[in-house]
Amino acid sequence: MSVLSGVKHIILVLSGKGGVGKSTVSTQLALALKEAGFKVGLLDVDLCGPSVPYLLQLEDRDVHKCDEGWVPVYADSDQKLAVMSIGFLLKDRDASVVWRGPKKNAMIKQFLTDVYWQDIDFLVIDTPPGTSDEHITVMENLKDLPCDGALLVTTSQAVSVEDCMKELSFCKKANIPVLGVLENLSGFVCPVCSECTNIFSSGGGKSLANLNNIPFLGSIPIDPSLGECGEKGKSCISVKPNSPASKVFKDLVLTI
Protein backbone atom coordinates (compact mmCIF):
# COMPACT_ATOMS: atom_id res chain seq x y z
CA MET A 1 0.00 0.00 0.00
CA SER A 2 1.31 3.48 -0.92
CA VAL A 3 2.43 5.74 1.93
CA LEU A 4 0.24 8.37 0.28
CA SER A 5 -2.92 6.27 0.44
CA GLY A 6 -3.97 8.02 3.68
CA VAL A 7 -3.69 11.47 2.06
CA LYS A 8 -7.06 12.97 1.15
CA HIS A 9 -6.01 16.01 -0.92
CA ILE A 10 -2.83 16.92 -2.77
CA ILE A 11 -2.10 20.49 -3.85
CA LEU A 12 0.85 21.55 -5.99
CA VAL A 13 2.22 25.07 -5.71
CA LEU A 14 3.83 26.23 -8.95
CA SER A 15 5.50 29.37 -10.25
CA GLY A 16 7.27 30.24 -13.47
CA LYS A 17 9.96 32.29 -11.72
CA GLY A 18 11.89 32.07 -8.48
CA GLY A 19 11.53 34.76 -5.86
CA VAL A 20 7.82 35.39 -6.45
CA GLY A 21 6.88 33.99 -3.05
CA LYS A 22 5.99 30.40 -3.94
CA SER A 23 7.57 28.86 -0.82
CA THR A 24 6.01 31.57 1.32
CA VAL A 25 2.60 30.74 -0.16
CA SER A 26 3.15 26.98 0.29
CA THR A 27 4.21 27.45 3.91
CA GLN A 28 1.48 29.92 4.82
CA LEU A 29 -1.14 27.74 3.13
CA ALA A 30 0.04 24.70 5.12
CA LEU A 31 -0.08 26.73 8.35
CA ALA A 32 -3.54 28.12 7.51
CA LEU A 33 -4.88 24.63 6.82
CA LYS A 34 -3.41 23.42 10.11
CA GLU A 35 -4.98 26.31 12.00
CA ALA A 36 -8.31 25.44 10.40
CA GLY A 37 -8.04 22.04 12.10
CA PHE A 38 -6.66 19.88 9.31
CA LYS A 39 -3.72 17.50 9.47
CA VAL A 40 -1.23 18.72 6.89
CA GLY A 41 1.94 17.54 5.16
CA LEU A 42 4.27 19.99 3.45
CA LEU A 43 6.70 18.49 0.95
CA ASP A 44 9.49 20.69 -0.39
CA VAL A 45 10.70 19.30 -3.71
CA ASP A 46 12.83 22.33 -4.48
CA LEU A 47 16.03 20.30 -4.17
CA CYS A 48 18.45 23.07 -5.16
CA GLY A 49 16.84 25.83 -3.10
CA PRO A 50 14.93 24.30 -0.20
CA SER A 51 13.41 27.23 1.73
CA VAL A 52 10.72 25.45 3.73
CA PRO A 53 12.96 24.46 6.69
CA TYR A 54 13.97 28.13 7.01
CA LEU A 55 10.44 29.52 6.58
CA LEU A 56 9.21 27.25 9.37
CA GLN A 57 12.34 27.72 11.47
CA LEU A 58 13.10 23.99 11.45
CA GLU A 59 16.63 24.21 10.09
CA ASP A 60 18.28 22.35 12.94
CA ARG A 61 15.93 19.35 12.68
CA ASP A 62 16.63 15.90 11.23
CA VAL A 63 14.43 13.16 9.82
CA HIS A 64 14.81 9.62 11.08
CA LYS A 65 13.63 6.24 9.92
CA CYS A 66 11.01 3.91 11.35
CA ASP A 67 9.71 0.56 10.06
CA GLU A 68 7.16 2.35 7.84
CA GLY A 69 9.69 4.72 6.26
CA TRP A 70 11.09 8.19 6.87
CA VAL A 71 9.43 10.04 9.73
CA PRO A 72 8.88 13.65 8.63
CA VAL A 73 9.80 16.59 10.84
CA TYR A 74 6.83 17.89 12.83
CA ALA A 75 6.55 21.67 13.02
CA ASP A 76 4.41 21.53 16.14
CA SER A 77 4.03 19.48 19.30
CA ASP A 78 0.52 18.29 18.39
CA GLN A 79 1.92 16.73 15.19
CA LYS A 80 -0.55 18.39 12.83
CA LEU A 81 2.04 19.76 10.40
CA ALA A 82 4.52 17.25 9.00
CA VAL A 83 7.34 18.56 6.82
CA MET A 84 9.82 16.92 4.48
CA SER A 85 12.63 18.67 2.65
CA ILE A 86 16.07 17.79 1.36
CA GLY A 87 17.25 20.50 3.76
CA PHE A 88 16.78 18.01 6.61
CA LEU A 89 18.99 15.41 4.93
CA LEU A 90 22.06 17.49 4.09
CA LYS A 91 24.97 17.08 6.49
CA ASP A 92 26.27 20.51 5.54
CA ARG A 93 23.19 22.71 5.42
CA ASP A 94 24.95 25.30 3.27
CA ALA A 95 26.19 22.77 0.69
CA SER A 96 24.82 23.16 -2.82
CA VAL A 97 22.92 20.27 -4.36
CA VAL A 98 24.49 19.79 -7.80
CA TRP A 99 22.62 16.82 -9.18
CA ARG A 100 21.68 15.73 -12.64
CA GLY A 101 18.09 14.74 -13.45
CA PRO A 102 18.20 11.01 -12.56
CA LYS A 103 19.50 11.67 -9.04
CA LYS A 104 16.90 14.38 -8.47
CA ASN A 105 14.18 12.08 -9.78
CA ALA A 106 15.25 9.29 -7.44
CA MET A 107 15.18 11.64 -4.45
CA ILE A 108 11.71 12.95 -5.26
CA LYS A 109 10.45 9.43 -5.86
CA GLN A 110 11.70 8.54 -2.39
CA PHE A 111 9.94 11.58 -0.92
CA LEU A 112 6.69 10.38 -2.48
CA THR A 113 7.05 6.71 -1.65
CA ASP A 114 9.07 6.49 1.57
CA VAL A 115 7.83 9.30 3.83
CA TYR A 116 5.44 8.05 6.45
CA TRP A 117 2.91 10.90 6.37
CA GLN A 118 0.21 8.89 8.13
CA ASP A 119 -3.39 10.06 7.74
CA ILE A 120 -3.15 13.64 6.60
CA ASP A 121 -5.94 15.69 5.08
CA PHE A 122 -3.76 17.81 2.80
CA LEU A 123 -0.35 17.34 1.23
CA VAL A 124 0.98 20.68 -0.06
CA ILE A 125 3.88 20.26 -2.49
CA ASP A 126 6.22 23.21 -2.94
CA THR A 127 7.94 22.81 -6.31
CA PRO A 128 10.97 24.60 -7.80
CA PRO A 129 10.25 27.36 -10.35
CA GLY A 130 9.65 26.28 -13.94
CA THR A 131 8.64 22.95 -15.41
CA SER A 132 11.51 20.56 -15.09
CA ASP A 133 12.56 17.09 -13.95
CA GLU A 134 11.15 17.68 -10.49
CA HIS A 135 7.66 18.47 -11.81
CA ILE A 136 7.59 15.54 -14.20
CA THR A 137 8.70 13.13 -11.46
CA VAL A 138 6.08 14.47 -9.05
CA MET A 139 3.34 14.01 -11.64
CA GLU A 140 4.51 10.51 -12.56
CA ASN A 141 4.37 9.47 -8.93
CA LEU A 142 1.00 11.06 -8.22
CA LYS A 143 -0.83 8.94 -10.80
CA ASP A 144 -4.02 7.49 -9.31
CA LEU A 145 -3.69 9.70 -6.22
CA PRO A 146 -6.10 12.46 -5.18
CA CYS A 147 -4.30 15.47 -6.74
CA ASP A 148 -6.78 18.34 -6.40
CA GLY A 149 -4.72 20.57 -8.62
CA ALA A 150 -2.18 23.34 -8.87
CA LEU A 151 -2.07 26.77 -7.38
CA LEU A 152 -0.11 29.20 -9.55
CA VAL A 153 1.85 32.02 -7.93
CA THR A 154 2.97 35.06 -9.90
CA THR A 155 3.79 38.70 -9.38
CA SER A 156 1.87 41.21 -11.47
CA GLN A 157 4.84 41.91 -13.74
CA ALA A 158 4.61 40.78 -17.36
CA VAL A 159 7.88 38.86 -17.05
CA SER A 160 6.43 36.69 -14.27
CA VAL A 161 2.97 36.43 -15.83
CA GLU A 162 4.50 35.19 -19.09
CA ASP A 163 6.35 32.44 -17.26
CA CYS A 164 3.19 31.60 -15.38
CA MET A 165 1.56 30.91 -18.76
CA LYS A 166 4.13 28.14 -19.19
CA GLU A 167 2.97 26.62 -15.89
CA LEU A 168 -0.58 26.73 -17.19
CA SER A 169 0.47 24.96 -20.35
CA PHE A 170 2.33 22.36 -18.24
CA CYS A 171 -0.83 21.76 -16.20
CA LYS A 172 -2.83 21.23 -19.38
CA LYS A 173 -0.26 18.79 -20.79
CA ALA A 174 0.02 16.92 -17.49
CA ASN A 175 -3.75 16.98 -16.99
CA ILE A 176 -3.57 18.78 -13.67
CA PRO A 177 -6.59 20.90 -12.75
CA VAL A 178 -5.68 24.53 -12.04
CA LEU A 179 -7.12 25.70 -8.73
CA GLY A 180 -6.33 29.31 -9.55
CA VAL A 181 -3.81 32.14 -9.68
CA LEU A 182 -2.51 34.04 -6.70
CA GLU A 183 -0.77 37.38 -7.23
CA ASN A 184 1.99 38.08 -4.72
CA LEU A 185 4.12 41.19 -4.10
CA SER A 186 1.15 43.10 -5.39
CA GLY A 187 1.75 46.71 -4.35
CA PHE A 188 2.96 48.13 -1.07
CA VAL A 189 0.53 49.48 1.49
CA CYS A 190 2.04 52.41 3.40
CA PRO A 191 1.82 51.61 7.12
CA VAL A 192 1.29 55.33 7.87
CA CYS A 193 -1.31 56.50 5.34
CA SER A 194 -2.53 53.05 4.11
CA GLU A 195 -2.15 54.16 0.49
CA CYS A 196 -1.23 51.31 -1.85
CA THR A 197 1.67 52.00 -4.21
CA ASN A 198 1.94 49.59 -7.13
CA ILE A 199 5.71 49.33 -7.15
CA PHE A 200 5.51 46.95 -10.09
CA SER A 201 2.66 47.00 -12.60
CA SER A 202 -0.66 45.86 -11.22
CA GLY A 203 -3.35 43.33 -12.08
CA GLY A 204 -1.20 40.90 -14.10
CA GLY A 205 -2.34 37.85 -12.11
CA LYS A 206 -5.98 38.80 -12.40
CA SER A 207 -5.76 39.35 -16.18
CA LEU A 208 -3.99 36.02 -16.55
CA ALA A 209 -6.80 34.31 -14.65
CA ASN A 210 -9.53 36.12 -16.61
CA LEU A 211 -7.94 35.45 -19.98
CA ASN A 212 -7.59 31.76 -19.24
CA ASN A 213 -10.88 31.31 -17.48
CA ILE A 214 -9.39 30.15 -14.23
CA PRO A 215 -10.15 31.41 -10.72
CA PHE A 216 -8.27 34.42 -9.37
CA LEU A 217 -7.46 33.64 -5.74
CA GLY A 218 -6.43 37.09 -4.56
CA SER A 219 -3.56 39.54 -4.24
CA ILE A 220 -1.01 39.67 -1.45
CA PRO A 221 0.77 43.02 -1.13
CA ILE A 222 4.39 43.45 -0.09
CA ASP A 223 4.07 43.18 3.65
CA PRO A 224 7.16 43.25 5.88
CA SER A 225 5.26 41.28 8.51
CA LEU A 226 4.93 38.39 6.04
CA GLY A 227 8.71 38.30 5.65
CA GLU A 228 9.01 38.35 9.45
CA CYS A 229 6.60 35.40 9.70
CA GLY A 230 9.16 33.43 7.67
CA GLU A 231 11.91 34.45 10.05
CA LYS A 232 9.87 33.23 13.03
CA GLY A 233 8.17 30.21 11.44
CA LYS A 234 4.74 31.68 12.18
CA SER A 235 1.49 31.92 10.28
CA CYS A 236 0.38 35.40 9.16
CA ILE A 237 -3.13 34.57 10.33
CA SER A 238 -1.91 34.27 13.92
CA VAL A 239 0.51 37.25 13.68
CA LYS A 240 -1.66 39.75 11.76
CA PRO A 241 -5.15 38.29 11.41
CA ASN A 242 -6.67 41.26 9.55
CA SER A 243 -3.92 41.73 6.97
CA PRO A 244 -4.68 41.24 3.25
CA ALA A 245 -2.39 38.17 3.25
CA SER A 246 -4.32 36.60 6.14
CA LYS A 247 -7.59 37.21 4.30
CA VAL A 248 -6.21 35.52 1.17
CA PHE A 249 -5.08 32.44 3.12
CA LYS A 250 -8.33 32.20 5.10
CA ASP A 251 -10.29 32.38 1.82
CA LEU A 252 -7.98 29.80 0.23
CA VAL A 253 -8.70 27.32 3.02
CA LEU A 254 -12.42 27.75 2.31
CA THR A 255 -11.96 27.48 -1.46
CA ILE A 256 -9.75 24.41 -1.78
Binding site for ligand ADP (CB under 6 A): 15, 18-24, 51, 184-185, 220, 222-223, 226-227, 230
Q: Classify residue 4 by its DSSP letter.
A: T
23 is in an annotated binding site: yes
103 is in an annotated binding site: no
Compare residues 83 and 222 and give the one whose CB is closer to ligand ADP.
222
Rounded distance between C-alpha atoms, residue 181 and residue 154, angstroms: 7
190 is in an annotated binding site: yes
Compare residues 157 and 184 and give the one whose CB is closer to ligand ADP.
184
Compare residues 141 and 184 and give the one whose CB is closer to ligand ADP.
184
State the nearest-atom distance from the C-beta of 112 to ligand ADP, in Å: 20
DSSP string covering 31-85: HHHHHTT--EEEEE--SSS--HHHHTT-TT---EEETTEEEPEESSTT--EEEEE
DSSP string covering 166-186: HHHHHHHHTTPPEEEEEEEEE
State the nearest-atom distance from the C-beta of 89 to ligand ADP, in Å: 19
State the nearest-atom distance from the C-beta of 64 to ligand ADP, in Å: 27
State the nearest-atom distance from the C-beta of 69 to ligand ADP, in Å: 27
Compare residues 70 and 186 and give the one whose CB is closer to ligand ADP.
186
Pairing outcome for strands 196-197 and 147-154: unpaired
The partner residues of 183 in beta bridges, in order of sequence, read: 154, 219
Compare residues 142 and 220 and give the one whose CB is closer to ligand ADP.
220
Contacts of 96 (CB under 8 A, 6+ apart): 48
229 is in an annotated binding site: no
State the nearest-atom distance from the C-beta of 173 to ligand ADP, in Å: 22
16 is in an annotated binding site: yes
18 is in an annotated binding site: yes
41 is in an annotated binding site: no
Q: Is 251 helix (H, G, I), strand (E, B) or coil?
A: helix
Specify binding-site residues for [4Fe-4S] cluster.
190, 193
Specify binding-site residues.
16-23, 190, 193
Specify binding-site residues for ATP.
16-23
